[in-house]
Structure 1
Amino acid sequence: MKFLFDSDTWQEIYGSIRKNKLRTAITIIGVLWGIFLLVVLLGSARGLENSFNKRFGNFATNSVFVWTQSTDKPFKGFQEGRRFTLTMNDIDVLKSEYSEEIKLLAPRNQTSNLIIKDFKSGNFQVSGDYPILDQIQKKQLLYGRFLNQNDILSIAKVAVISEDMYKQLFDLGEFPIGQLIKINSISYKVIGVYKPSNTINFDGDCAYIPFTTFKKVYNTANKVDWMMITANEGTDIEQMEKDILLTLKNLHKVHPEDERAFGSVNLGKEIGKVTGFLTGMQFLTWFVGISTLVAGVFAIGNILLITVKERTKEIGIRRALGATPKSIKQQIILESVFLTTIAGMLGIIFGSAVLMFIDWKLGSGGEGVLINPTVNIPIILIAFVTLIVLGTLIGLIPAHMATVIKPIEALREE
């Protein structure tokens, strides 16, 4: 390792770089661009993944949503175009038949109503729900609490409202918990205020009241507008959706091949497409980044080969003065490693700066596209070490070419 601290060695390297400034700059840029792309692409992919996780983080992603529409085929004496509704009986049957597959099942009823607080009012969604909804789609509460089982059993006139509803109906700074609002001319006590998440929002600005209260006030009997179903771990969510829809078709005398009678959204299936896309993005990122990196390293090898050719006479003189093949080889390899190291460090610095800019520009706010785009330090270190190793290996080729030059032939070189 003595040659690393030999001033003559570094003077030779400095002289070579200074003599070929443009060529050296182009070489460094080639390698810099490779690791720069790797850092930026990996960071952007992570930012996209973080954004996805933030949007769906509070939602049970292995969920299916089911509602009724109108039939598309006549069946068992019923005409095409028949309309029907889900019922609480359907809920009981599904819980019984799919007890092993279903983890959570939330029947829901919704309507739109004028909500009044003193002299302020607005039209909002009103949803009759069970406390289990908070497990499927976690609510970020700013004040108070969500619905509980006691509210269901006592048919309580209580409501959980959104942050926007609170701002529209209440005075600035007014504490909402315990205050009364009127929905459909009936007074409800506000027990909670939630902040709508950045996930899929099926409800918009919605006032949640107990399912039993909704049933009594709006006289819905056993009617259910739609249901949210979450599967247990390891359940095939697509197969469960098909089985549930077939069971509901049998219950409501709908043709088994009727595709219009029930509407459904399989969140697990849709999210699977997105995660598949993210996986493909990561693979493409690694492929493009590493390919560019390798191409840059090969550029260094080509430049050094040209340099060795140009310095044939110089190398011949050094050999004639007693320089050993080993010392010449070490100098060429050290020059290769030095250029790769400088290029790698600059690439990492510039890549990190770009990721900081992306985070500032695209990652801020509730609708951030690329949130916290970062690359793990171990990955950076592995990429950097790999770059150094490649630089060393590629430097062996011109180093070998330099050592096979015979002094007498080199001195004759014009």
Structure 2
Amino acid sequence: MPTPSFPPEIISAILEEIPGKTRYSPPPRTSWATCCLVSKSFLPIAQALLYREVRLDWEMTMAPTRFQLVKRSQLLLASLVGNPDLAVLVKTLNIEVPGHGDERLKENSEALTVCTAITDLRLFLPSPSSPMPSTFERAIAGLGPQLKSLEISGGAWKPKSPEWLANFRCLKRLSMTHTYGYLDPRPSPPAFELERFAGSQNMTKPVEFSAVTFMLSSSHSSLLELDLSWSTFPTVFDLSAFTALKTFRLASMFSSAEKAHAASTSLSALVKSFAVLEEFSLSAMMRFGPTPALEDVDILRSFPSTLKSLEFSFIPFKTAYLLDVLADPRCLPSLKSFDLDYKVKSEGDGETRVVPRPRHELNEITRAAKERGFEIDSEALEEGRRLRIKDLVLRQVTAISTDDKSERPIVH
């Protein structure tokens, strides 16, 4: 009697619904491996899921080599090298090398060579003083024509070839965080048309922001998301050429009152240049210290009408300004989420301090927000207290009681 087989669409639907495969939990690899044994019709589909994303982890040892692949990764790499049919199933490859383990990267080069169908490469690299091993660099460059996403975190390497990034012609997502050297200006910008870029500036060897805009010269009409962690606020900050930008996030430091004031003017001009922006986030890297007085440049009225999400971390606004903005229905008409600092600046005795916003001011903001169809969700986060305004259509939250007129801060 022949073994019954299911249509591939039904098998795929069954495997995708296995519990555990959520945004915040790892894929159910054990279950997928078991499904490989169910029948011949299950095998290819379950294998494709099982090997779709592969991670190679390293650990420190007392051996002379100091680092080696963990046992699971050793077996996995051997399986991929010995079975090209499995290696070709790998679409996402994660390689994490701890500490100064650059001498072991040649083994990782083998994984890059055999997994010929990779479209998403994520590298967490050590920070050695030596240059990137040529075998490793060549292996990455060899994937250039097919890579859609490249993420490099950690490492102080500078590519030996000044045109290294030019290999990635089809790249759509690029992330280079906690690195330097990659953003140095080149004779000509890469030809890729990115949809997302994330980058950070190394504090010990800062890179001018102009290097980023130069590198993204071919992405003016394609870039949708820009995520930056910049230790020094850019002196020149013009993004008007990026006409499709919908998400912008920036974390930066403001080392003096003068620089914070200059940043206010720069940020005002920046947000006015956005045509279709939907999400904006600005964070101060240092919890204490000078911050831009954004209400002085009327920043909240400078955003385009398309804005849906707005977040400010450790950058307080005056209550009077917030009330004025919330009372204006022409301001931020499409806003769905507003996350702002719980505290407020208090001036006295010749100094400016940041203190918890008084309870009666919170109540005033609550009432004004309700008139716009919002409520305030007050919650204690790890880094401090926050005020989060959510659209009632998206989230039903508990309103802050307006009966209690005491001056104590709200605690949940």
TM-score (ref. length: structure 2): 0.24
Instruction: Report which of the two has the higher share of helix.
Output: 1
